[in-house]
Amino acid sequence: MEKEAHEQYEYARRRLRQKKVLYFHFVLFLIGSLFLFIANRFFGFGAGTDQNWCIWGITIWLFLFILHFIKVYITDRFMNKKWEREQIERLVALQQKRISQLESRINEDTENKI
């Protein structure tokens, strides 16, 4: 039972760290986006280029943040250790079934030859 409790603790600790990093990414995104907007509009940074370059930068960053959000709250939530263990057990069972089929076929072939 202690191993299971330790696994639950490690899973909770890992999820908490993932969420903490996601929240930090969100705050960094907000501050960075504000900085890019102010640098473009008020300080004229990048005036020789497209005037809305900050919108492109913020959009790309938002897309990356959305991918990070999906990874933390959707993908990793369902594809955890339990899911991995179930998939491994399923694949091992399929392999064992295939091995037993091949062994029975080999046995049948050897009996037919004798």
pLDDT of residue 44: 72
Q: What is the mean pLDDT of each run of 10 residues along the chain (114 residues)?
A: 81 90 96 90 70 85 95 83 84 91 86 74
Burial of 27 (0-12, 13-18, 19+ CB in 10 A): exposed
User: What pLDDT was estimated at residue 111?
Assistant: 79
Instruction: Give 53: exposed, middle or buried? Use CB within 10 Å, 0-12, 13-18, 19+.
Output: middle
The overall pTM is greater than 0.85:
no
Helix axes 53-70, 2-41, angle to 10 degrees: 170
